[in-house]
Amino acid sequence: MPGFELFSDLERKEVNDVLDNGVLMRYGFDGMRKGHWKAKELEAELEKTFDSEYVQLVSSGTAAVSVALASAGVGAGDEVIMPTFTFVASFEAIMMLGAIPVLVDIDDTLTLDPKAVEASISPKTKAVMVVQMCGSMANMDALRTICDSHNLIFVEDACQAIGGTYKGKPLGSIADLGCFSFDFVKTITCGEGGAVVTNNRDYYINADHYSDHGHDHIGNDRGTESHPFLGYNFRISELNAAVGLAQVRRLPEFIGIQKRNYTIIRDSLSKIPEVTFRTVPIGGEESYAFLNFFLPDAEFAQKVSTAFKENGVDVCWNYYQNNWHYIRKWDHLKDLKSLFPISKEVKEGLKYLQTKKFEQSDYYISRNISCLIKMSWTEEEVKSRSEKMLKCIKKIINE
C-alpha cells in the first residue's frame, strides 16, 4: 500500500485508451468511444473481485458511504452507529444526509465492539456501519446477528481493507452494503474514486441513479432519460476508472508483496514479549496493508513512536495523537464547526459528544502503533527496517 508505488505500462495503456478517444465522462458520447468504457469494465472486474452481484463506481470513498446509506433510505434524523477509530469521512458522509453519527467503542480488533453496538441501539437507530480499519476486520458474525435481530441496515466501510477476507468472503462483500475508496494512498488507486458493493438489486439501482443526478440510465440518449427521484453528482471519470482497471487486475500481486513485507516485520517484533498484536477474528485474513501492534501502556507507546521518527522508521503512527482518525481530537465535530447551519435534529443528536467518554477506545488506541506496509520496499529494506524497530523498542524496555 499504496498502489501508486508500482505504476506500470498497464496503467498507462488504459489511460491512453481514454485520451485516444477523448471521452473523459463515464456516461454518453457512445459514438466517440471506440469501444472503451473504462468505468463499466472496472465495475465488472470489481464484481468478480468482491464476489458480489453489483458494483457502482463513485467519485470517492466518502461518496461511497453517503451513496450506500442513501440507497438504503438512511436520512434526516436517523442514527448510524459507527466506531471511534476511523477516518473523519465516516461521520462526514453520515451528516451529509442529515443523519446522526453515533460513535461507540472499539475492541482489540481496532474495529466496532459488538457489545458497545448493542448498548447504543435506540428507536432512532437505522444502520450500523463497521469500518475495517488498517486492513483488518471486526467480528462480522456478531455484528450481523445484532443487525438482523434489530432489523438494522448493515454497512461495511472497507475503504482501507481491499484484499482482506472473512471466512472466505472478501471484506466489503459481507454486509448489506460495502464501501471502498480508491484514493491516492489505497492499495489500489484510481487517484480519486470509490465503489458501492451489494447483492441487493434495489440498493444497486438506487445507487446507480442517485450518484448521477437521479438519471435512470435507460436507453442510449442521455437527454431523454427520466429522473425517478432526486440525485446528486458523485460520478467517477473515465480517466480515474482507467487507472483503477489496471490496478485491480494487479491486486493479487499487490497483496502478495504486502504479505511478504508484513510477515517479515511481524515475525521480528514477535520476539519481544511486550509487543502484542491486534486480534484478527477467527476465519479472518488481513489485507496486510498495515501492521498494528500494542505496547504495555500509553507512555511506552509514545516513546516508541518518537524513537521510530528519530531513527528513520517512517509511516508509523500512534493514532492517539492523530487529528484525522480518532475521536479524541475531532473538535470540529464535537463543537459543530460548520460553514452552514446544522439541523436541529443533528445538533440535538450530537450533544452526547460533549460529555461522552470512550475509555475502552482510549485504552486500545493509546497503546497502538500502526505501520503502513509499503510495496516499493525491497526485502533487504524491510529486514533493515524491522531490525531498527526491534532496537528502538528494546532500548526503551531497558531504560
Q: Where are the beta strands (DSSP E) in the chain?
A: 54-58, 79-83, 100-104, 125-131, 153-157, 165-166, 169-170, 177-181, 194-198, 276-277, 284-285, 290-294, 316-317, 368-372
Question: In this model, does residue 1 exceed pLDDT 90?
Answer: no
* CA gap 305, 14 in Å, rounded: 40
pLDDT tens digit string along 151-201? 999 999 999 999 999 999 999 999 999 999 999 999 999 999 999 999 999
Report pLDDT for 126: 98
- Cis bond before residue 2 (omega within 30° of 0): yes
Q: What confidence category does residue 239 fall into, taking pLDDT thresholds of 50, 70 and 90?
A: very high
The percent of residues in the chain predicted with pLDDT above 70, rounded, is 100
pLDDT tens digit string along 84-125? 999 999 999 999 999 999 999 999 999 999 999 999 999 999
pLDDT tens digit string along 203-236? 999 999 999 999 999 998 999 999 999 999 999 9
* CA gap 165, 136 in Å, rounded: 8
Report pLDDT for 57: 98
Count of CA atoms in the C-beta half-sphere (13 A) of 263: 9
Q: What confidence category does residue 399 fall into, taking pLDDT thresholds of 50, 70 and 90?
A: confident
Report pLDDT for 279: 98
Locate 234 and state its grid cell: 458523485
User: What domains, with CATH codes, occur in the chain?
Assistant: 3-250 (3.40.640.10), 252-397 (3.90.1150.10)
Per the prediction, the chain carries an average pLDDT of 97
* CA gap 287, 373 in Å, rounded: 10
* CA gap 93, 76 in Å, rounded: 13
Report pLDDT for 100: 98
Choose the catalytic residue: 186, 309, 347, 374.
186
* CA gap 6, 153 in Å, rounded: 37
Report pLDDT for 77: 97
Instruction: Give the three-state DSSP class for 274.
Output: coil
Report pLDDT for 276: 98
Active site (annotated) includes residue 126: no
* Listed residue (119, 111, 114) closest to 136, CA to CA: 111
* Strand (E) or helix (H) holding 150: helix 140-150
Place of cell 480499519: 133
pLDDT tens digit string along 140-164? 999 999 999 999 999 999 999 999 9
- Count Cβ atoms below 10 Å from residue 144 Cβ, excluding itself: 17
* CA gap 258, 110 in Å, rounded: 20
Burial group, residue 380, by CB count within 10 angstroms (0-12, 13-18, 19+): exposed
pLDDT tens digit string along 345-375? 999 999 999 999 999 999 999 999 999 999 9
CA 78, chain centre distance (Å): 22
* CA gap 25, 17 in Å, rounded: 13
Report pLDDT for 154: 99
Report pLDDT for 315: 97
Answer whether 0.85 is exceeded by the pTM.
yes
Report pLDDT for 42: 98
Cα→Cα distances 376→159, 160, 291, 312, Å: 21, 18, 16, 16
Place of cell 503512527: 317
Instruction: Give the three-state DSSP class for 27.
Output: coil
* Listed residue (236, 230, 210) closest to 24, CA to CA: 236
